[in-house]
Structure 1
Amino acid sequence: MRLLLIAFLQVALADPPKEVSGYIGETITLPSGAEPSWTLSDIYWSIFPNNTWIATYDNKEENTDRISQYKGRLSLNIKSGDLTIRNLTTKDAMEYTVDLTNAAGKNNENKIKVTVKQHLQKPNIKTSPAGSAGEDCWMVMHCSSPDKDVGLSWQVKPPSVTNYPTINPDNNSTFLLVFLNTTQNPVDVTCTFSKNMENTSTVVTLKYDGKLYFVVVTFWNM
Structure 2
Amino acid sequence: MLSPSGMGRGAWWGVVVGLLLWGGMADAAKRSTPKRSTASAAQRAVWRAKAWVGLGSLAKVSTSVNDDCSGLTQLAYRAPGLSLMPERTLPGENGVKAIYRKADALGSLRSAPTPGDLVFFRETVDRNKDGRRNDGLTHIGIVERVGADGTVTFVHRAGGGVKRGRLNLARPDARTDARGRVLNDWIRRRDKRHRGYLAGELVAGFASVDERWGAAPRGSGR
TM-score range, shorter chain: under 0.3
Larger radius of gyration: 1
Structure with the largest fraction of helix: 2
User: What is the TM-score with the length of structure 1 in the denominator?
Assistant: 0.21
Which structure is higher in RCO with an 8 Å CA cutoff and minimum separation 6? Answer: 2
